[in-house]
Amino acid sequence: MTNTRIIHHNFAYHGPASLDEALKLLTGSDVSLLAGGTDLINKMKLETAHPREVVYLGRLEELKEFSDRDGLDIGAMASMTVIERSKVVQAAYPCLYEAIHSVGGQQIRNMATLAGNIANASPAADGPPALMVLGAQVEIGRHGPEGRVEMRKIAVEDIFSGPGKTILEPGEMILRILVPAESAAGRADGRIRGSAFEKNARVKLDVAKASAAAFLEIRDGVCELVRVAAGSVAPVPLRAKTVESALKGEEINIDSIKAAAEKISEDIRPISDVRSTEKYRRQVMKVLVRDALLSAFERAKGGSGEKAAH
């Protein structure tokens, strides 16, 4: 059991009181950021991570901020519990609520952060597929050469470079996650929108064997915009572009959704591991993508998005 282990190696601990101080500390070598600690602490106990320095972000109040007005503005230290308890998230961004709610138990979500879920870059992470279909971006900061904080934004779908790897450069950290208001479920400008997240795991709170998220924007019965993302079926969470192409511009109904979902095998690269087999993942992804799209469709129409027999 990981929680009975102790950390054996020595490291320097820092608890900066300002963002500027934190970013300066990141300019050192072999530095790890500590947010909720649900991944880093386990890795240090299992001796798969041996940072020389650990920078704890818990004193940075500006990173704990969370706003659900005009889209979502999620600070890097906002806990998953804070996000999932937002009535706006539950109603307008249901795929994100479902993804977060599927992460471990309540004690884990009380500590875990969505930014950490991204930065850890697990192919099986629950948050990234939902954020991808919502068109989310991350704001990244670093301590610039002139002493000022330099920032840049990048789409969540573009941040992953491999299992456990991101394109973040040395000295950079995620500051905020931004979800556009245009991805909120509901009716606007003659269009209807909905989203959903599906996950298959050995038990409810376990790491995903496979997952799928979907977002739909529909006008006059035709799919104008569709985003589908998959998790745990490739080296990184990814967009299912073949599925999207099969549905975009088509009249949207149960048959067109089922036909598009069958295309998911062309987008994914699953493997066999301790949680599942490559064959099973290919089979179950067709069901997960279908169900995510159907739920998003029902929500766009104003329904609950509850699963029905198909």
For 88-133, the pLDDT digits (tens) are 999 999 999 999 999 988 999 999 999 999 999 999 999 999 999 9
Residue 185 DSSP SS3: coil
**What are 123's two structure tokens?**
């192919």
Q: Quick one: pLDDT at residue 241?
A: 98
**Burial class of residue 258 (count of CB atoms within 10 Å of its CB; 0-12, 13-18, 19+):** middle
The fraction of the chain above a pLDDT of 90, given in percent, is 79
CATH architecture observed for domain 187-300 = 2-Layer Sandwich (3.30)
Q: Quick one: pLDDT at residue 204?
A: 61
C-alpha span between 146 and 250 (Å, rounded): 52
The fraction of the chain above a pLDDT of 70, given in percent, is 95
Tell me the average pLDDT of the chain.
93
Higher pLDDT, 38 or 219: 219
Residue in 1, 54, 63, 66 with CA at minimum distance from that of residue 30: 54
CATH match for 61-179 among 3.30.465.10, 3.20.19.10, 3.40.50.720, 3.40.50.2300: 3.30.465.10
Residue in 192, 152, 191 with CA at minimum distance from that of residue 174: 152
Q: Where are the beta strands (DSSP E) in 147-288?
A: 149-155, 160-162, 165-166, 173-179, 186-188, 191-201, 208-219, 222-231, 238-239
pLDDT at 310 over 90: no
**What are 234's two structure tokens?**
């490739």
The mean pLDDT of 205-231, rounded to a whole number, is 95
C-alpha span between 261 and 290 (Å, rounded): 5
Beta-carbon contacts of residue 302 (< 8 Å; ≥ 6 apart): 192
pLDDT in tens, 48-77: 888 899 999 999 999 999 999 999 999 999
Return the domain boundaries, the chain: 10-56, 61-179, 187-300
Higher pLDDT, 44 or 165: 165
Dihedral (CA of 212, 208, 154, 35) sign: positive
C-alpha span between 86 and 174 (Å, rounded): 22
Report residue 258: phi and psi, to 5°. Answer: -60, -40
Residue that is written with structure tokens 């930065």 in the block: 119
Tell the CATH topology of 10-56. 3.30.43
How would residue 303 be classed by pLDDT, with cut points 50, 70 and 90? low
The mean pLDDT of 143-157, rounded to a whole number, is 91
pLDDT in tens, 4-53: 688 888 999 999 999 999 999 998 889 999 998 888 888 888 888 888 99
The mean pLDDT of 208-229, rounded to a whole number, is 97
The mean pLDDT of 281-286, rounded to a whole number, is 96
The mean pLDDT of 144-166, rounded to a whole number, is 93
The Cβ of residue 59 has, within 10 Å, a number of other Cβ atoms equal to 14
